Copies of this chain bind each other. A is one copy, B any other.
Amino acid sequence: MQNVTLKVEGMSCNHCVKAIEGALEEIGASGKVNLAEKTVQVEYDENKVNVESIKEAIEDQGYDVV
């Protein structure tokens, strides 16, 4: 398993947390949002998911990965 922590702009509330964590779950990754630090920590299997698709899943929810 691999871990990556991304800086993400625009996350403001628990709805945002659920939207992002849900989108990551859908691609087979596991995310943990920290609203205060504006980060998403993601654990993923590098044989199934890559960082590019993780960023895409987050951006598809309307947030900016910076």
Which residues of A are interface residues toward B (Cβ below 8 A)?
10, 12-16, 19, 62
Q: In the complex the two chains form, what is the Cα distance from A50 to B15 in whole Å? A: 27
Tallying the copies of this chain within the complex gives: 2
A19 CA / B12 CA spacing, docked (Å): 14
Q: Which of chain B's residues has its CB closest to A10's CB?
A: B13
Instruction: Give chain B residues whose Cβ lies under 8 Å from the Cβ of A13.
Output: 10, 12-13, 15-16
Question: In whole angstroms, what is the CA distance A16 to B12 when docked?
Answer: 10
Q: Which residues of B contact A15 (CB under 8 A)?
A: 13, 15-16, 19
Which of A10, A14, A15, A19 is most buried by chain B, counting CB atoms within 10 A of its CB? Answer: A15
Q: Cβ of A12: which chain B residues have Cβ within 8 Å of it?
A: 12-13
